[in-house]
Amino acid sequence: MSAKLWLTQLQENGYRLTKARSAVVEIVQKSLRALTPVEVYDMARKKYRALGLVTVYRTLEKLEELHLIQRVHQPMGCQAFISAGEGHQHLLLCQNCGQVAFFEGDDLDILTKSIAKKTGYKIQEHWLQLFGLCANCRVN
Amino acid sequence: MSAKLWLTQLQENGYRLTKARSAVVEIVQKSLRALTPVEVYDMARKKYRALGLVTVYRTLEKLEELHLIQRVHQPMGCQAFISAGEGHQHLLLCQNCGQVAFFEGDDLDILTKSIAKKTGYKIQEHWLQLFGLCANCRVN
DNA sequence: ACACTTATTGACAATGATTTTCATTATCAA
DNA sequence: TTGATAATGAAAATCATTGTCAATAAGTGT
């Protein structure tokens, strides 16, 4: 029922509740893999035919702004989105089926401190992403 | 003089040595920050006016193929390239001036192994990137 | 130095992704 | 219910990238 929570979030931030938004939210929220705007469009239109692609872009923009989704960077492209994890999480992507798993992993402090010392940089953020095969794809 | 090495690399891989390629290589090779194709185009055209943007794209493609440059992913966009580090290196980007530093950091084995166990994934690759302020920008 | 083969080029067009514009519609507060 | 206005979808505009093609230039053999 987390889709309802997302809609509530939108509402609480002054955005209106519409059929278009509901359709987009429903698709993106429950997806286990990152979806491109066009993919969201195609899938959501099965629920709400009148939906326009432009609205998908605009809705994704708002969801990202509210940190409900995040952009996923991959070698093949960076225009896909996945529902964001709670707090500070990293992604683990299946190179075969695209399924996304989240993990926490801030054992990076030691590393970042040593890098900071070596380079003179003040480190403020980090991106860590793992790629591999999920339990299913591993077998086949 | 590493620009000459890049040109040699191109030649050794069966590509011809041209003015257009020299101009592109000269700019990209010595840049301390990641450059977009258009930025490369603008800068390289100061050396070789006849240069076309399409050729910039094609040259970058070849340089990436030879692992002389690599694509840099950033929140604001993923279409910039920087001269690649030796072997397996990670990037550290200054959020103010864009300067890029490289570092090695494969102390990630412990982390990846624990994630693999928890998630059931077979982990094959990782992306790690740090963001911060370089020594210069830190002060100002 | 020359001619010849063919990779490379730049201009233009085509594509694909994203953004802007705008008149119409639908949400939500009063 | 009504009215202000946020949100919508369609079409056009913009921006990044790729494909096409005739003209050019690199590098080979002479």
CATH at A129: 3.30.1490.190
Q: Is residue B132 located within the same domain as residue B98? A: yes
Rounded Cα–Cα distance for residues B64 and B68 (Å):
6
Pick B132's closest partner by Cβ from A73, A123, A131.
A123
Q: How far is the CA of A11 from the C1' of C29 (A)?
A: 14
pLDDT-flagged residues of chain B (< 70): 1, 106
Query: How high is the pLDDT of residue A106?
Result: 67
Q: Is residue B97 located within the same domain as residue B134? A: yes
> Does B123 sit within 8 Å of A73, measured CB to CB?
no
Pick A128's closest partner by Cβ from B124, B126, B134.
B126
The 8 Å CB, 24+ separation contacts for B76-81 are: B77/B36, B78/A73, B78/A78, B79/B36, B79/B37, B80/B34, B80/B35, B80/B36, B80/B39, B81/B28, B81/B34, B81/B35, B81/B36, B81/B37, B81/B40
Q: Is residue B67 located within the same domain as residue B94? A: no
Q: Is residue B70 located within the same domain as residue B9? A: yes
Pick A130's closest partner by Cβ from B94, B110, B115.
B115
Query: How high is the pLDDT of residue B68?
Result: 97
Q: Is residue A39 located within the same domain as residue A105? A: no
> Does A127 sit within 8 Å of B115, measured CB to CB?
no
Q: What residues make up the domain containing B131?
A: 90-139
Q: Which residues of A touch B76 (CB under 8 A)?
A: none
| Phi/psi at B83 (5° precision) | -55, 130
Q: Is residue B75 located within the same domain as residue B29? A: yes
Rounded Cα–Cα distance for residues A138 and B70 (Å):
29
Which of B58, B83, B108 terminates a domain? The answer is B83
Q: Residue A14: which nucleotide is closest by CA–C1'?
A: D6
Q: Which residues contact B85 (CB under 8 A, 6 or more apart)?
A: B102
Minimal CA–CA distance to A101: which of B116, B31, B11?
A: B116
Mean pLDDT of A13-37: 98
Mean pLDDT of A121-136: 95
A55-69, A121-135, B13-27, B102-116: segment of lowest average pLDDT: B102-116
Q: Binning pLDDT at 50, 70 and 90, where does residue A88 land?
A: confident
The pLDDT tens digits for B36-53 are 999 999 999 999 999 999
Query: How high is the pLDDT of residue A1?
Result: 60
pTM: 0.92
Q: Is residue A63 located within the same domain as residue A108? A: no
Q: How far is the CA of A18 from the C1' of C26 (A)?
A: 8
Instruction: Give how far the C-alpha of residue B82 lies from the chain's centroid of Cα atoms, to the nearest Å.
Output: 2
Please report, rounded to a whole number, the percentage of residues in chain A having pLDDT higher than 90. Answer: 85
Q: Is residue A26 located within the same domain as residue A79? A: yes
Q: Is residue B63 located within the same domain as residue B111? A: no
Query: How high is the pLDDT of residue A102?
Result: 94
> Does B105 sit within 8 Å of A120, measured CB to CB?
no
Q: How far is the CA of B61 from the C1' of D15 (A)?
A: 20
> Residue A2: is its pLDDT beyond 90?
no
Q: Is residue A99 located within the same domain as residue A73? A: no
More confident call, B88 vs A52 = A52
Please provide the average confidence, as pLDDT, over all residues in chain A. 94
> Residue A124: is its pLDDT beyond 90?
yes
Contact B78, A78 (CB under 8 A): yes
B77 touches strand D (CB under 7 A): no
Helix (H) or strand (E) holding A43: helix A37-44
3-state helix, strand, coil in chain B (%, to 5): 45, 25, 30
Give the gap in angstroms from C-alpha A134 to the nearest C-alpha of chain B. Answer: 4
> Residue A57: is its pLDDT beyond 90?
yes
Q: Is residue B57 located within the same domain as residue B7? A: yes
Total number of domains constituting chain B: 2
CATH at A71: 1.10.10.10
Contact A92, B115 (CB under 8 A): yes
Q: Is residue B37 located within the same domain as residue B64? A: yes
Which of A83, A101, A126 terminates a domain? The answer is A83
Which of A83, A105, A128 terminates a domain? The answer is A83
Query: How high is the pLDDT of residue B1?
Result: 60
